Structure 1
Amino acid sequence: MTSAFTGLLAYPITPLAEDGSVDLDGLAGLVGAAVAAGVDGVVLLATSGAGVSFDDAERDAVVRVAVAAAGRAPVHAGVAGESAHRVVARARAAVDAGASGLVLPPFAYLPLDDAEVRALYARVATAVPGAPVCFYNKPVQLGFDVSPDLLATLRDDGSVVAVKDPASLPSRPAGRVAALRAAGVVVGLSGDPALTDGAEPADAWHTGLAALAPAEYVAVRRARVGRSEAADAARTWLHDLARAVAATGRPLAALHAVATLLGTPTAPPRDALVPLTAADGQALRDVVARRP
């Protein structure tokens, strides 16, 4: 089993029916459309997919349906859990369901230190040997920011092949991508506002909006070297949409709203305790209406 975690990786939401159950047909539609538009892979059950809000049976169904819808395109699965035991169980289940690779953040009740992170990733590597793992770095949310030195250690341990890193943080030094590459891992960036507005070149883009507007994102990714009028229009629209999503302060709820506006009806995410305001909803509608 191999996976480079390179190119444009789309992170679909997990669509929900009005009763809160998983809309597997809606998910299959999102995955199939993204692959048909030319994305290089799909990542399920991570932040955009609200993976921690689903039980084991739902997660299994999500992975199996997406793998079938994706055809030959790689499908990766987020396997965050509240304990190492749960992470290992989810990793095994995802691989059994056909996932090509795993995306794992250093999630825990309390922030982990380097030794604990190394132990967590080693347990996953032992449990699912040969399954490539991408380190999902979420320093703002999890209180842990992976260093290039630790990534090199994880690579040498055989437990990590790639990293997903925020494209823009105020504390980030210049040359972050180069430093991560020096660790010997594939470097991917996330954060739609930055990706659509001059982020450092990287081996991969990890993005939720690419699953909702894949044709536009594929055009922008392919035109990152050179320019075209069509790609410029798509970039401007995606950047405006990314900023509107971020401005809500509730990006997961906003992605569900955008999905509905773009033709995949879905109930709000299970863990969205406060709905979008009317003003936020209108701002999203205004941007979607300008789709080139």
Structure 2
Amino acid sequence: MKLVTFEAPQKRARAGFLLRDQVIDMEAISEGQLPSLMADFLQEFDRYFPLALQYEAYLLNQDYSHNWELMRQKQQTYAFSDVILLAPLTRPSSLRDFYAFEQHVRTCRSHRGLQMIEEWYQIPVFYYSNHQAIIGPDRVLERPSATSELDFELEIACIISKQGRNISANKAEEYIAGYCVMNDWSARDLQRQEVKVGLGPAKGKDFATSLGPYLVTKDELEPYRTKDRYNLAMKARVNGKLISQGNFQDIHYSFGQMIERASQDTTLYPGDVIGSGTVGTGCILELGTNVQPWLESGDIVELEITGLGVLRNTIK
């Protein structure tokens, strides 16, 4: 199932799911049995998700075309072209971003004249980003005024669906609602200055993170599974030009291992977002400005991941 948060004419943000070329308002179609907000849906995911699947199956199994106009009149469904997609979760309860692809870490360190360190292979590490600065698909990114080195980062994020503490890696899947594309925007000059002090990144990262275009529940990714990872091609384009290609299955640490680390002696909550870190070649810092200059106003960045769709943003 592809879960979305959307705005429709005369309606503020609503939770729904995609069905062919339609966006189904889950609260309206269920007559209140399902919630109107994605945050509430995630709070009781184990109860609401099976019910949402029942409504999806019912609609797919019916010859509902003759009822479509009536459903639209009841504001139960909308043509995809008539809604605005927001980030699937507009205000996560937290945002942790890991550093889990070895190629990205190794290449970026080598650009600074540094070797890989033993500690990276011992534990998956993460930083906290700004969970109040989330933007969705096809939104405009306001370029930070202080940067001249704006970068994208091609990542996958998982969204937590159940409260847990000290979760083992082999139990972590029980706590995942699904996955989406993530763009961890970075102001590299600000980041470089901060980390020299021994803290950060902070201002180099906290102006925006893109999530979307939808939250794909983990059952849809089963055809791509390879043990505890997924065979998902990851691509980045700037102004229509393909500049990066990678694959999620090359990640060093699985999401299970990341969740185990994140939940060690602390509690994860429904709506927490966990990013994978950047796939190999998935940013300008790694590729080099001879391949792609730093992003400028008017540039269009598209991140595409098999099964998860395309996350597109324009730089202002």
| TM-score category (smaller protein) | under 0.3
Q: Please, what TM-score do these two structures have when normalized by structure 1?
A: 0.27
Greater length-normalized contact order (CA 8 Å, ≥ 6 residues apart): 2
Structure (1 or 2) with the larger CA radius of gyration: 2
- Greater percentage in helix: 1
1 or 2, which has the higher strand percentage?
A: 2
